[in-house]
Amino acid sequence: MNGTTTDTARTFARNAKGVREVLSMKFETLSFEGAWYDAFGTPERKGVWFIWGNSGNGKTSFVMQLCKELARFGRVAYNSMEEGACLTMQNTLRRFGMDEVNRRFLLLDNESMEELSLRIKRQKSPDFIVIDSFQYTQMTYRQYIAFKERHRNKLLIFISHATGTLPTGRSAKSVMFDAALKIYVEGYRAISKGRFIGPVGHFDIWPERAQEYWGRKEKQQ
């Protein structure tokens, strides 16, 4: 048996797993508590999450709260491709007290996907990567898959614009379907539509506004 054949056999052996082997595997998870657990349960700490919603519904506020929560479990890099380091971003960081997680939160000022990929490959790079927004990356679905495969040991969180109740653009829709955790934001509420759903299934970004919005919507139905 030559070297190539041996390598191929090893690859097949590594990729194929029996049911008992899979059931005995241990996965690293995020031990969410309180409202976070109620909404999203205990998700895996790597993979792809996808967050989308229309402007004015609390999406930015939710993402910042999520970053602060994730900073409890590791380091977060937020690639602000739309706003970058500007006054609006400064006000957002101040409003959510992000200085409390200063050493675990890194704001990237409109870093290209190529630069971001190099950063993630470094030793001791951030554990959680937030990319805002998917539309600004101008990635095709094929490019997204390649990026995801290069960084399988990280949690990649893509933020997306919405058209109606769906992400804007064909590639964004495909990424949404691929993501392990899909979070749709409407009426100051982040709703889990993915594979990780807690006992409540949603997170109220601004509880008073959310109750007002959804209460009004229920009456209209």
Between CA 183 and CA 74 the distance in angstroms is: 21
For the chain, give every domain's residue range.
29-220
pLDDT tens by residue, 104-130:
999 999 999 999 999 999 999 999 999
Q: What is the pLDDT of residues 131-156, one digit of tens each?
A: 999 999 999 999 999 999 999 999 99
| Three-class DSSP labels, 176-191 | HHHCCEEEEEECCEEE
The model carries a pTM of: 0.88
Q: CATH assignment of 29-220?
A: 3.40.50.300
Q: What is the pLDDT of residue 7?
A: 57
Condensed to tens digits (0 to 9), the pLDDT of residues 182-216 reads: 999 999 999 999 788 999 999 999 999 999 999 99
